[in-house]
Amino acid sequence: MHLAPFLIYVLAIFVLTAVTSYPAFLGLEALGLRDMPFDEMVMRLLKLYGLLGLWPLLSSFGINTRTAWGYGPSRDGRGFFKGLLLGAAIGLASMALVVAILLAFDIRVARPGVALSPLLLAVVLLQSAFAGLMVGFIEETWFRGALQTSIARVSNSAIAIVFISFVYGAMHFVSADINIPADEVRWLSGTAVLFTSLHGFRDPAFYDSLFALVAGGLLLGLIRYRTGRIVECIGIHAGWVMVVKILRQTTYPNAEASWSFMIGDYDGVIGILAGFWFSSLAIAYYVRYGRRVSAG
C-alpha cells in the first residue's frame, strides 16, 4: 500500500500542533482569552489541523470530490434529509436495546431529584440533538468520508473500513494527561501535551469502550461503502450521541449493580454490552449487504 500521503498527513498535524501551540496560546492570551486550559487548547488545535488537512490529503490522491468526501449522490436516489432522518431513526432505535438493558438491570439509575418538566425535557432533547448532529457531521466527514476514501484509494475497501474503524475508536482516547499552568507554558509545552495524550492506551479499563467504538465504526464503514455516501452515517452517529447525552444527564452508573461491568469507564454508557450489540449489527449488515466489500 502506498500510504505515504496518509502518514505525511498524520505527521504534519502533530508537528504543526506542537510548533504552533505556544504562539496560539500567546495570541489567545493577548486577546484576554485565558479561560481555556493550555492542554485543552492543544487538543482542539490538533483536531482543527486534522480537519483542515483533509483537503490536501484528498487532493494528493487526486480524489478531492464531493463523492470522495461522502456527499455525492446516493446510489438509490434518496434525498439528503431523508437519509439523515432515516439514519437518526436507526441510531435511536439501535441504542434503544442498550438503554433498556442498562435501565432494566439497574446498571444506570435515575439521578436523585431529576424531574423533567416539558420545558426542561425539550431543552435537553434540543441540546442533545444539536450536539449529536455536530459530532456526527464532523466525525463522519473526517473518518467515513475523507479518511476511509483515502485508505480505500491505496488499498481496498475492506482494509479501509477496518483500519479507519480502529483509528476512529482510538482517537476517542487521545486526550491530554498533563496540566501545564499558564505561567509555565513555553515552546516545548505543546510537544509535552501531545506526548502525554497517548497515555490513555495504557489503561485496560478503556478497552471495553474501545471495543464498542470500533464495532460501531465497522457498522458505519459498511453503510458508507454500500450507500456511497455518509448522510445515513451522520444520522446514525447523531442518534447514538443524542441517546448517550440524554442518558448521562438523567441517570448515573450504579457500581453496585451485578452487571455493572457491561458499561465502560469512557462515558459510563458504551462498553461490552454496546460492543457486542454493534458487532452483531455489523455482522448482520455485512451478511445482508456487504459481501462485495472484500473486492474493494
Q: Region 51-73: what's the mean pLDDT?
A: 88
| Percentage of the chain lying above the pLDDT 70 cut | 93
pLDDT at 30 over 60: yes
Q: 82-118, pLDDT tens digit by residue?
A: 999 999 999 999 999 999 999 999 999 988 877 667 7
The 3 state secondary structure assigned to the chain is: CCCHHHHHHHHHHHHHHHHHHHHHHHHHHHCCCCCCCHHHHHHHHHHHHHHHCHHHHHHHCCCCCHHHHCCCCCCCCCCHHHHHHHHHHHHHHHHHHHHHHHHHCCCEEECCCCCCCHHHHHHHHHHHHHHHHHHHHHHHHHHHHHHHHHHHHHCCHHHHHHHHHHHHHHHCCCCCCCCCCHHHCCCCHHHHHHHHCCHHHHCHHHHHHHHHHHHHHHHHHHHHHHHCCCHHHHHHHHHHHHHHHHHHHHEEECCCCCCHHHCCCCCCCCCHHHHHHHHHHHHHHHHHHCCCHHHC
Q: Which residue type does 17 have?
A: T
Q: Is the pLDDT of residue 65 over 80?
A: yes
Q: 128 versus 36: which is more confidently predicted?
A: 128
How far is it, in rounded angstroms, from Cα 228 to Cα 73?
A: 8
* Higher-pLDDT residue of 77, 199: 199
Average pLDDT, the chain: 88
